């Protein structure tokens, strides 16, 4: 009847509000943006008209002219493994404070999908990008950083790009906390289990930390590692633990590079009849929800994700403000969460 079929019903615009309130569209714009220099009277009239029409500003049009979207894209490497939740929370909270909103995207572990996703964000003209975790996105992140302010966080290995800020947990400190804890419990034969991303096995910060800290503690002779060439997961941890525990002189404690890996170790201990923590102590890394489950109660390192997220947001906000300022490389202090999987070394 009143609308041409085929066209979708258009919502109210600044124009229709202006007509209804009997003012110019410029004034409506001023009111909607809370300008101080409009008279009380006009402001009320405009707001009333807007309410009556159910007016909602069109962010597309706004951003087109203003050049800012107040939106940042967050690419989460692997949504299935919820270590990122605390980080994302801190990030969003802090961004909120800057009037910016985070939109999340899941690349589904597929580099091509990741590519498309980032492309979509860039076409949307987001003000910045955050890459959360290495897996399928490293190359993509590189490219994005040439176009828009970018922050990387929780990459498993150091990345130095011009104009890109990085935020990471202090792996060295985290591993040190674990080893000191185990040492204090009398452990000496402490093994380390981890995986690696497909690209490089060489610079795994946690592994490096294990090696240097063992040395510092005078335990160089006890160093034993089992490093897979795929990312650490439960199965990888399980297999590694079976190998380590099957040795002639098995370790009394196993440190894993992630909570998931530690779970695999726990399962292996179960299967081999080793009691935790009486016969074997096990630690994880990340303090995911998994580790806090009563049935698991894993001693682990809390990377302080919320704080990391907050830092990421601050870096990003800063770089949006001044895109060419020198790069920041932040380390966040982790803490140790002692639960039920660590105890005194056997025979002590």
Among 25, 42, 43, 89, binds its own copies (CB under 8 A): 89
Segment 279 to 318, residues that bind its own copies, using CB under 8 A: 289-290, 293-296
User: Phi then psi for 286, rounded to 5 degrees?
Assistant: 130, -25
* Among residues 270, 278, 325, 333, the one that binds its own copies under rule CB under 8 A: 270
Retrieve residue 293's tokens: 């489950």
Q: Is 243 in the site for its own copies (CB under 8 A)?
A: no
Candidates 5, 33, 202, 322; binder of DNA (CB under 7 A) is: 33
Residue 4, C-beta contacts closer than 8 angstroms, at least 6 positions apart: none
Q: What is the 3-state secondary structure (H, E, C) of the chain?
A: CCCCCCCCCCCCCHHHHHHHHCCCHHHHHHHHCCCCCCCHHHHHHHHHHHHHHCCCCCHHHHHHHHCCCCEEEEEECCCCCCCHHHHHHHHHHHHHHCCCEEEEECCCCCHHHHHHHHHHHHHCCCCEEEEECCCCCHHHHHHHHCCCCEEEECCCCCCCCCCEEEEEECHHHHHHHHHHHHHHCCCCCEEEEECCCCCCCCCCHHHHHHHHHHHHCCCHHHCEEEECCCCCCHHHHHHHHHHHHCCCCCCCEEEECCHHHHHHHHHHHHHHCCCCCCCCEEECCCCCHHHHCCCCCCEEEECCHHHHHHHHHHHHHHHHHCCCCCCCEEEECCEEECCCCCCCCCCC
Place of tokens 């949006």: 320
Q: Is 321 in the site for its own copies (CB under 8 A)?
A: no
The CB-of-63 to its own copies minimum distance in angstroms stands at: 5
Q: Which of 15, 146, 198, 289 binds DNA (CB under 7 A)?
A: 15
Q: Of the ranges 57-65, 92-100, 154-162, 306-314, which one interacts with DNA (CB under 7 A)?
A: 57-65
For its own copies, the closer CB: 82 or 186 = 82
Site for its own copies in 120-179 (CB under 8 A): 120, 122-125, 147
Does position 101 bind DNA by CB under 7 A?
no
Q: Which of 22, 24, 35, 103 binds its own copies (CB under 8 A)?
A: 103
The interface region with DNA, picked from 49-57, 76-84, 141-149, 284-292 by CB under 7 A, is 49-57
Binding residue count for its own copies, defined by CB under 8 A: 56
Please state the closest distance from residue 217 (CB atom) to its own copies, in A. 29
Closest distance of CB 303 from DNA, Å: 39
Contact positions with its own copies (CB under 8 A) in 198-217: none
Binding-site ranges for DNA (CB under 7 A)? 10-11, 13-15, 23-30, 32-33, 36-39, 41-42, 55-58, 61-62, 64-66
Binding-site ranges for its own copies (CB under 8 A)? 8, 10-11, 56-64, 67, 69, 71, 79-82, 85, 88-89, 92-93, 96, 101-106, 108, 113, 116-117, 119-120, 122-125, 147, 234, 238, 263-264, 266-267, 270, 289-290, 293-296, 323
């Amino acid at each position: 009847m009143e609308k041409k079929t085929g066209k979708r019903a258009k919502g109210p615009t600044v124009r229709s509000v202006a007509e209804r309130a009997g003012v110019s569209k410029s004034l409506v714009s001023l009111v909607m943006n809370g300008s101080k220099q409009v008279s009380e009277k006009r402001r009320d009239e405009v707001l009333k008209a807007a309410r009556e029409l159910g007016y909602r500003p069109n962010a597309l049009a706004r951003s087109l002219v203003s050049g800012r979207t107040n939106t940042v894209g967050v690419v989460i490497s692997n949504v299935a493994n919820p270590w990122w939740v605390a980080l994302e929370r801190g990030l969003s909270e802090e961004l909120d404070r800057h009037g910016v909103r985070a939109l999340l995207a899941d690349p589904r572990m597929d580099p091509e999908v990741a590519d498309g996703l980032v492309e979509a964000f860039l076409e949307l003209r987001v003000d910045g990008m955050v890459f959360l975790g290495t897996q399928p996105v490293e190359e993509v992140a590189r490219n994005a950083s040439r176009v828009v302010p970018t922050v990387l966080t929780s990459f498993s290995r150091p990345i130095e790009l011009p104009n890109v800020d990085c935020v990471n947990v202090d792996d060295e400190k985290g591993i040190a906390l674990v080893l000191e804890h185990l040492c204090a419990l009398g452990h000496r034969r402490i093994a380390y289990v981890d995986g690696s991303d497909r690209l490089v096995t060489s610079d795994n910060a946690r592994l490096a930390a294990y090696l240097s800290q063992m040395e510092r503690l005078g335990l160089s002779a006890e160093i034993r590692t089992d490093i897979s060439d795929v990312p650490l997961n439960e199965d990888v941890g399980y297999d590694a633990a079976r190998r380590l525990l099957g040795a002639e002189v098995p370790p009394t404690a196993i440190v894993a590079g992630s909570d998931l890996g530690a779970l695999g170790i726990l399962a292996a201990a179960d299967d081999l009849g080793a009691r935790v923590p009486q016969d074997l102590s096990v630690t994880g890394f990340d303090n995911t929800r998994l580790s806090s489950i009563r049935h698991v109660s894993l001693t682990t390192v809390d990377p302080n994700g919320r704080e990391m997220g907050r830092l990421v947001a601050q870096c990003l906000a800063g770089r949006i403000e001044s895109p060419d300022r020198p790069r920041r490389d932040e380390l966040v202090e982790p803490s140790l969460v002692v639960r039920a999987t660590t105890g005194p070394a056997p025979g002590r």
